Amino acid sequence: MSVSGAKNHALKIFAASVLFSGPVRIGNVPLIEDIFRMSELVSGLGIKVRKTGGHIFEINADTLNKTILDSEIASRFRASVVLIGPLLTRLGRVSLPHPGGCVIGERPIDFFIEGLAKMGANFKNKGNHYFFEAKNLIGADFTFRNPSVTATETLMMAAVFAKGKTVLRNAACEPEVEALAKFLNDGGAKIYGAGAHTMRIDGIGKKNFLKQKNPLAVIPDRIETGSFLILGALAAGPSGIKIKNCEPTHLASLISHLESAGVSIEKGPSWLKVSRTKALKATHLKTREYPGFATDLQAPFVVFLTQAKGESLVHETIFEGRLEYVSDLNRMGAKITLCDPHRALILGPSSLTGREMESPDLRAGLAFVIAALVAKGRSIIHNVYQVDRGYERIEEKLKKLGADIKRI
Ligand code: EPZ
């Protein structure tokens, strides 16, 4: 199977196009619901978005003429929040509702507010609606209390045209952040150190909008790659599953956890091959910022651990509401004890039985799909919009691997 482009890279490229003059061409864009919502959101700002080929989009922000994000659309996905940075620096103002997305914890935006205030922006809110204004943003030295992916991306984009130098400390190092910086630099931005915890952005002033020089392909989705590795270890047919067009170096932590549970994985430069492993061993897991174990792979990995012999402790350190789905796995026959909102104890192996379930968010939704494929009997998963937010034609990819799945 072939991995799609990364949701959390593609969405930020759509937002970054606000900083460009002339067309921006993006290849390998995943055809998923969050991308459709982002297209609608930026089109509503006057930006032209065209799908010019299978997975190719062309965006032109020369016609950008609005700074108010549509509340209904913006409140449906978290990535809408990164538009604050480019809109504020290009047009001097932006207003938006509290960004939506997965219900996995509180997901505040205090780092955005504090960082932009340090760069000279005024902020006010009316209930859950936010207003930012800045005539001219100025460089600042800002330290994140925790590394935040979307806040790092937002401040990085806000700093591109700011006056002077911005330093972001304890910044997020996720591959999608680094890839976004590379795209901005290719267009003329001056960002140094993206992919490390301290980065510097030398503002280039507003007169110099960015210009795309080279074609851009969205990087492979590491969460989709990881989910298929997990599925393969649990349920691959006799010839295993080969996952193509992926970036194995982005999956180092998951691969190390799978290997410590007894799974063997063959690695190539842009592919991975995994076989079904019968005698899985329990393994402890703590989610961490990149390059640690991705919180977005925590739910599929918990499904994996239900099939491993012994007791595994999973500690979700990033979000406080991201283990609630385990009650559904227990209804399927798993033996998982929720110690507190951040920790779960899994006793395995347990035999799972098909059930009817509701996807609480996109990653847990896919974890339910994996659990359903491992379980005996039939499962029905509702609210598949959540799964479609992040995975392109998932049932077709799974069917090609031999899964018995259909969309009803
Ligand atoms: C991004 O969310 C991803 N979303 C998430 O993917 C991913 O789970 C997460 O990063 C962690 O890797 C997008 O890129 C659109 P954070 P983000 O800000 O940026 C706290 C998926 O399934 N925090 O890095 O919203 C926050 O509460 C999604 O694709 C503040 O306290 O996450 C959390 O504890 C789900 N104040 C921690 O930082 C702030 O102002 C890290 O969250 C911002 C964040």
User: For 184-232, what is each residue's pLDDT tens digit?
Assistant: 999 999 999 999 999 999 999 987 899 999 999 999 999 999 999 999 9
Computed on alpha carbons and rounded to an integer, the radius of gyration of the chain in Å comes to 21
Other residues' Cβ atoms within 10 Å of the Cβ of residue 10:
27
* Placement of tokens 């460009």 in the chain: 20
Residues with CB under 6 A from ligand 1: 7-8, 11, 78-79, 102, 105-112, 146, 148-151, 172, 295-296, 318-319, 362-363, 390
Backbone angles phi, psi at 191, to 5 degrees: -115, 130
Other residues' Cβ atoms within 10 Å of the Cβ of residue 66:
14
> How many helices (DSSP H) and strands (DSSP E) are in the chain?
14, 20
**Structural contact between residues 10 and 218, judged by C-beta atoms closer than 8 angstroms:** yes
Q: Express each pLDDT in 238-274 by its tens digit.
A: 899 999 999 999 999 999 999 999 999 999 999 999 9
Cis amide prior to 215 (ω within 30 degrees):
no
Per the structure block, which two tokens stand in for 216?
A: 């851009």
Cα 156 to Cα 167: distance, rounded to the nearest angstrom: 9
Strands 191-192 and 199-202: antiparallel
Query: Which residue numbers in the chain have pLDDT < 50?
Result: none
Residue-level pLDDT at 107: 80
Task: Please tell me the pTM assigned to this model.
Answer: 0.97
Cis amide prior to 349 (ω within 30 degrees):
yes
Q: Is 102 a catalytic residue?
A: yes
Cα 273 to Cα 60: distance, rounded to the nearest angstrom: 39
Cα 324 to Cα 61: distance, rounded to the nearest angstrom: 40
Q: Whose CA is nearest to atom 42 of ligand 1?
A: 148
Q: Whose CA is nearest to atom 31 of ligand 1?
A: 108
Q: What is the DSSP letter of 144?
A: -
Residue-level pLDDT at 7: 98
Backbone angles phi, psi at 182, to 5 degrees: -65, -40
**Residue in 79, 144, 153, 83 with CA at minimum distance from that of residue 115:** 144
Cα 369 to Cα 357: distance, rounded to the nearest angstrom: 10
What atom of ligand 1 comes closest to residue 81's alpha carbon? Answer: 15
Q: Is 123 exposed, middle or buried (0-12, 13-18, 19+ CB in 10 A)?
A: middle
Residue-level pLDDT at 99: 79
From 8, 366, 387, 388, the mutation candidate for ligand 1 (largest count of ligand atoms within 8 A of CB) is: 8
